[in-house]
């Protein structure tokens, strides 16, 4: 059932998101020469961000013409998009899964946020970074865990600093259906949170790519595949040779390597100094703490989906950081899903209502008489001001 006007917008948003995801997935595996982990990264981000994910893919990653992916993705801002896509695809997946599970378990919102952070960090570090990037980075799995720990920590801190306030304020706002995973509004809040997290995490990812701490976008042209320019027909042979040579020497300011073949390892040595790493880590950690703590000054983060989930607060109701769940339930509007009315088959809604006067005998039976006159007397009594007694002023001291 579509209850609020926002529900109609969310239906349209997710319809566009599904269509965008289908097109991005089709174009990635059919026309775009990059590693599989980045293909799936753009697909997941388009699921979460809808048409904005499609826009990022077309502007920053989609190969405009065959053999030009290396040159097209060379600029630093596009490399930063690729790094943030990889970060958000892994981290947001863990956050969203944890949010759905903790809401179903009825954990308080403040515990929910902590579990979401840990789940997102673990999913990004142990799966999307160390496992899925192992073939391109080389080395053992635990070596990759060690080398990607700090970049993943910085990215996750920044992303959660953007997601946490959005989830806290909207889930504990007027429409608390946002706390229930079975409601469309819950997934709308998750989508908006991912968009906010992407925006906050993007600048630090651009910096990490420029300092060779993270990979950006990469090109993969496996021998014999449809993206192998050496096997293009003779009319494009020279173009393939030039693109292959460009791929061997190309790097976005040294931040990433675009290998011509899929088996090449992209090992990097960062030039970031320890003070720089400490400063960026410290600032993103403070951002994270602010995103987790500051909403608690305005909304009650001790409540859970089992306490108030599904309630719709009346407009103008004041809710503070210590408003109890019982008060919210008492003041909540009637849930539309719990109200139904079945009219008779011959019922009509255009019947005129006959005017009539309200009877006042109820008040007269209690000895009040005319209610309006009684109200006037009460008002005059409240507003009557007693003048000071002049004899009290002349009393001897």
Question: What tens digit of pLDDT does each residue of 128-159 get?
Answer: 888 888 777 777 889 889 999 999 999 999 99
Confidence band of 269 (pLDDT split at 50, 70, 90): confident
Least confident of 61-75, 226-240, 280-294, 295-309: 226-240
Check residue 34 and give its pLDDT: 92
Percentage of the residues of the chain whose pLDDT score is greater than 70: 79
- Using the predicted structure, report yes or no on whether residue 63 has a pLDDT greater than 70: yes
Cα distance between residue 255 and residue 251, in whole Å = 6
Check residue 338 and give its pLDDT: 74
- Using the predicted structure, report yes or no on whether residue 262 has a pLDDT greater than 60: no
What is the domain partition of the chain in residue ranges?
82-221+274-308
Check residue 365 and give its pLDDT: 47
- Using the predicted structure, report yes or no on whether residue 359 has a pLDDT greater than 80: no
Q: Which of 131, 119, 148 is nearest to 215 (CA)?
A: 148
Q: Which of 158, 157, 136 is nearest to 147 (CA)?
A: 136
Confidence band of 40 (pLDDT split at 50, 70, 90): very high
Confidence band of 375 (pLDDT split at 50, 70, 90): low
Match 């006037």 to its residue by tokens. Answer: 376
The better pLDDT of the pair 53, 243 is held by 53
Query: What pLDDT, in 10s, does the model give residues 70-115?
Result: 999 999 999 999 999 999 999 999 999 999 999 999 999 999 999 9
Confidence band of 394 (pLDDT split at 50, 70, 90): low
């Amino acid at each position: 059932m579509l209850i609020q006007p926002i529900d109609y917008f969310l239906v349209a948003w997710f319809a566009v998101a599904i269509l965008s995801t289908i097109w991005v997935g089709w174009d990635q595996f059919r026309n775009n020469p990059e590693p599989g982990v980045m293909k799936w990264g753009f697909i997941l981000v388009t699921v979460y961000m809808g048409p904005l994910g499609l826009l990022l893919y077309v502007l920053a990653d989609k190969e405009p013409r065959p053999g030009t992916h290396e040159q097209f993705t060379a600029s630093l801002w596009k490399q930063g998009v690729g790094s943030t896509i990889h970060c958000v695809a892994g981290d947001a997946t863990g956050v969203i899964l944890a949010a759905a599970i903790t809401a179903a378990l009825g954990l308080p919102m403040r515990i929910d946020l902590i579990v979401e952070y840990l789940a997102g960090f673990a999913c990004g570090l142990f799966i999307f970074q160390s496992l899925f990037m192992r073939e391109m980075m080389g080395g053992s799995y635990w070596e990759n865990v060690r080398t990607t720990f700090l970049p993943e920590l910085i990215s996750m801190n920044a992303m959660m600093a953007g997601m946490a306030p959005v989830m806290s304020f909207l889930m504990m706002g007027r429409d608390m259906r946002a706390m229930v995973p079975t409601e469309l509004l819950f997934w709308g809040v998750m989508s908006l949170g991912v968009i906010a997290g992407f925006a906050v995490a993007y600048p630090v990812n651009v910096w990490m790519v420029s300092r060779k701490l993270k990979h950006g976008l990469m090109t993969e042209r496996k021998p014999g595949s449809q993206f192998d320019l050496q096997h293009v027909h003779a009319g494009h042979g020279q173009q393939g040779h030039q693109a292959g040579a460009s791929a061997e020497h190309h790097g976005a300011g040294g931040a990433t390597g675009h290998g011509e073949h899929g088996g090449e390892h992209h090992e990097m040595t960062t030039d970031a100094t320890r003070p720089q790493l400490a400063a960026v880590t410290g600032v993103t950690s403070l951002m994270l703490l602010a995103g987790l703590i500051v909403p608690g000054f305005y909304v009650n983060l001790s409540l859970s989906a089992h306490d108030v989930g599904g309630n719709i607060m009346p407009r103008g109701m004041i809710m503070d950081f210590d408003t109890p769940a019982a008060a919210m339930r008492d003041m909540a509007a009637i849930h539309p899903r719990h109200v139904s009315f079945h009219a008779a088959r011959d019922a009509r809604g255009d019947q005129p209502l006959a005017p009539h006067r309200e009877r006042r005998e109820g008040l007269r039976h209690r000895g009040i008489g005319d209610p309006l006159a009684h109200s006037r007397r009460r008002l005059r009594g409240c507003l009557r001001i007693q003048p000071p007694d002049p004899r009290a002023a002349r009393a001897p001291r």
